[in-house]
């Protein structure tokens, strides 16, 4: 993405605006459980996921949020997503915040094994969140 494009994308993220997606697929009708996973930009969800939430038919869906960031906690992004999903008629069964790419060349990168372990743990967290509550 050229610099001007990145500037607009970041501004859109800050303002909670969407963007134009290439060949989007908003099909969620066949699914009862839906996971929304997005990188975090400047504390906010990315415009692409905002567009998905605006266009998908989410009423009655059970949804789980995953925020992927360079820092472990992104409460603002989670709070915004929860608010938008509830406004679209979905219920949010839980959320996770996971470490993604850390944009600092000095950062210690997790190994493939550590990423695999993190992915397995996340999948288990998501599975449990969708289990019926006793
Ligand atoms: C412009 C920009 C802003 C970012 N802002 C945040 C932030 O506010 N909080 C955070 O935890 N990570 C932030 N990050 C880190 C990204 O969320 C992280 O690198 C993520 O893995 C990016 O996912 P992707 O590689 O799929 O785009 C930012 C990254 C970029 C490029």
Is 23 domain-assigned?
Answer: no
Query: Would you say residue 27 has pLDDT above 80?
Result: yes
Is 111 domain-assigned?
Answer: yes
Q: Side by side, which strands form the sheet with 44-45?
A: 44-45, 33-41, 62-69, 91-99
Is 29 domain-assigned?
Answer: no
Query: Would you say residue 88 has pLDDT above 80?
Result: yes
Is 62 domain-assigned?
Answer: yes
- State which of 39, 45, 75 you would mutate to test the pocket of ligand 1, scoring each by most atoms of that ligand within 8 A of its C-beta: 39
CATH number of 98's domain: 3.40.50.360
What digits encode the pLDDT tens for the residues 40-81? 999 999 999 999 999 999 999 999 999 999 888 999 999 999
Confidence of residue 25 (pLDDT cuts 50, 70, 90): very high
Q: Quick one: pLDDT at residue 26?
A: 97
Confidence of residue 3 (pLDDT cuts 50, 70, 90): low
The more confidently predicted of residues 134 and 95 is 95
Mean local confidence (pLDDT), 99-114: 86
Q: Quick one: pLDDT at residue 1?
A: 59
Q: Which domain holds residue 85?
A: 5-18+34-130
Q: Quick one: pLDDT at residue 31?
A: 96
- State which of 19, 46, 78, 101 you would mutate to test the pocket of ligand 1, scoring each by most atoms of that ligand within 8 A of its C-beta: 101
Reported pTM: 0.92
Is 28 domain-assigned?
Answer: no
Is 25 domain-assigned?
Answer: no
Is 46 domain-assigned?
Answer: yes
Query: What total number of domains does the chain contain?
Result: 1
Protein residue with its CA nearest to atom 23 in ligand 1:
39
């Amino acid at each position: 993405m050229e610099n001007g494009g990145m500037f607009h994308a970041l501004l859109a993220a800050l303002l909670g605006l969407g963007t134009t997606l290439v060949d989007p697929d908003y099909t969620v009708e066949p699914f009862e459980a839906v996971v929304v996973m997005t990188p975090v930009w400047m504390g906010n969800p990315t415009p692409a996921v905002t567009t998905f939430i605006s266009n998908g038919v989410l009423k009655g869906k059970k949804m789980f949020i995953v925020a992927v960031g360079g820092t472990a906690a992104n409460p603002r992004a989670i709070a915004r997503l929860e608010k938008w999903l509830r406004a679209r008629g979905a219920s949010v069964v839980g959320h996770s915040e996971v470490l993604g790419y850390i944009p600092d060349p000095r950062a210690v990168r997790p190994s493939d094994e550590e990423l695999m372990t993190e992915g397995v743990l996340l999948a288990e967290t998501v599975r449990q969140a969708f289990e019926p509550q006793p």
